[in-house]
Amino acid sequence: MKRTKSEELIAKYFTNSISTDELDYLSTWIEEQDNNELLISSVKTDHAIRYNMSQYNTKKSHKLLLDKIRKDKSILSRFKIKQTFKYAAIALLFLSTGYIMHNYFFNDKKSAPVAIDHNSIILQLDNGSIKVLSENGTANIVSKNGAIIGSQKGNQLIYDNEVEVEKLVYNTLTVPYGKRFELKLSEGTHIHLNSGTSLKYPVKFLKGEDRQVFLNGEAFFDVAKDSLHPFIVNMNDVGVRVLGTKFNASSYPENNQINTVLVEGIVRIFNNTNIYNKTNSILLKPGYKASWNKRDNKISINRADIALHTAWIKGKIMFRHLPFKNIIKKLERQYDVTIMNNNKTLGNEFFTASFDSETIEQVMQTFHKNYGINYSIINKQIIIN
C-alpha cells in the first residue's frame, strides 16, 4: 500500500531525517486538520496494531486523545503557533497519541514502537530529535556532533558554558501538565518552568549578541548579570528585557494577558515586533506587575503580591478573587486532569484559596465542603454538576 506524503514525513520526523521545508509542510498539514482524524490514522500502522493489540482500545484511545488535545490547545493554541515552537508543537501532538514511532514504516519485525507517556518531559534538540527526561534522572545531552553540551541532574537540566559554537543552536524544553522542571543556561541563568510550558533557548549564547529565549507558558527567571548582553524573554509580541534580575513571566495562550511580575532589579517591557529602544519601552520596578492585553496591545502597571505569583515554584496554588473558570485551568495544569464544568453560573463566581500539598481529590472536597460544589471524578476527568 502506497503511503501518503504526510505519512512519509511522519516517518522522516521520527528518524531525524526531515528537512526544514518538509517540517514546514508537516506543520501546515497538522494545522489544517479540523478534528485530527487523518493524523490519528496516520500514526497507526499495521505494525503498531499488531504489537500488543490486546491492550489497545481504539475507541478509548481516541477519546483520551481528543481529551488531551482539548487540554493541550492551551499549550499549542490548536497548533497555530509561532515558528519558534514548531518542533515542540509536532512533538507534543504525536505524544498525545501515546506512541512515538522511532521505527515507523520499517519492516524489521523485531522492532516495536516505543511507547512514551503523553506527560513526559521532552527535550527537542536542534536536529529535531526527541529526548525524554525522566524525573529525578541523570543523563548527558549530546549534540549532533557527539559533543556533551549539558547534563540532567535530578529535576534540573544544566548546560555547559565551555562548549564551542559558531552559530546559535536551539533546544526546546517542554514540560507537560502535572509537572515542573528547572533549567540552567550556559551563562548561569536559572529558570523554573511551570506545568504546560515550552521554552526555546540556545545551548550557548554568542558573544556580542542579546541573550534571547522564547516562552510559551510560565517561568520564573533568575537572570545572570551581564551588562554587555541583555537578556530578552519573548512571549508572542511582548519582549521583557533585563540585564540581571529575578522575575516571573506568564504567557499561557488561553489567557487574555501576558504578565510580568518583577521580584528584583529592573526590567523593560516592549513590543518585540519593533526594534527595541528605551523610548518605546515601559520600565517595571520590583513589586509591580506589567499586564499586556493581547486584544488591544495596551499595558497596565499595578502593585503585585509576589507570593501569589511565585507560589507555583514550590508546588503551591494560590488565587485571590479569581473567577472559577480561571481556577479550572490552574487545576488542570497543576494536576494533569480535565475538568468539565456543567454549572455555567459557577464559572463566573470568584474565589480565594490556597493549597499546598493537597491532592486534586482533597482540593475538590474543599470546594464541596465550603461552597457546596458537587462533582464526580472518573480517572483523570472531573465533572462538575
Tell me what pLDDT residue 226 has.
Answer: 94
Instruction: Please report, for residues 264, 267, 310, the alpha-carbon distance to residue 288 in angstroms, rounded to integers and kept in the order given.
Output: 10, 11, 13
Tell me what pLDDT residue 50 has.
Answer: 33
Tell me what pLDDT residue 350 has.
Answer: 96
Tell me what pLDDT residue 143 has.
Answer: 83
- For residue 156 the three cell numbers come to 534540573
Domains of the chain: 5-115 (no CATH), 121-308 (2.60.120.1440), 316-384 (3.55.50.30)
Q: Quote the CA–CA distance of 132 and 237 in Å, as a whole number.
A: 30
Tell me what pLDDT residue 11 has.
Answer: 62
Other C-beta atoms lying within 10 Å of the C-beta of residue 177 = 22
Q: Quote the CA–CA distance of 67 and 339 in Å, as a whole number.
A: 10
Bridge-partner residues for 214, per DSSP?
Answer: 200, 234
- 8 Å CB contact between 240 and 206: no
In whole angstroms, how large is the CA radius of gyration of the chain?
Answer: 22
pLDDT under 70: residue ranges of the chain: 1-4, 6-8, 10-118
pTM: 0.72
Tell me what pLDDT residue 277 has.
Answer: 82
pLDDT digits (tens, 9 = 90+) for 275-305: 888 888 999 999 999 999 998 889 999 999 9
**CA 197, 198, 203, 206 torsion-angle sign:** negative
- 8 Å CB contact between 220 and 248: yes
Q: Quote the CA–CA distance of 78 and 69 in Å, as a whole number.
A: 8
For the chain, the first-to-last Cα distance in angstroms comes to 48
H helices present in the chain, as ranges: 5-14, 20-31, 37-42, 46-50, 58-76, 86-95, 306-310, 324-335, 344-347, 360-371
| Coil, helix or strand at residue 40 | helix
| Kind plus residue range of the DSSP H or E element containing 218 | strand 211-222
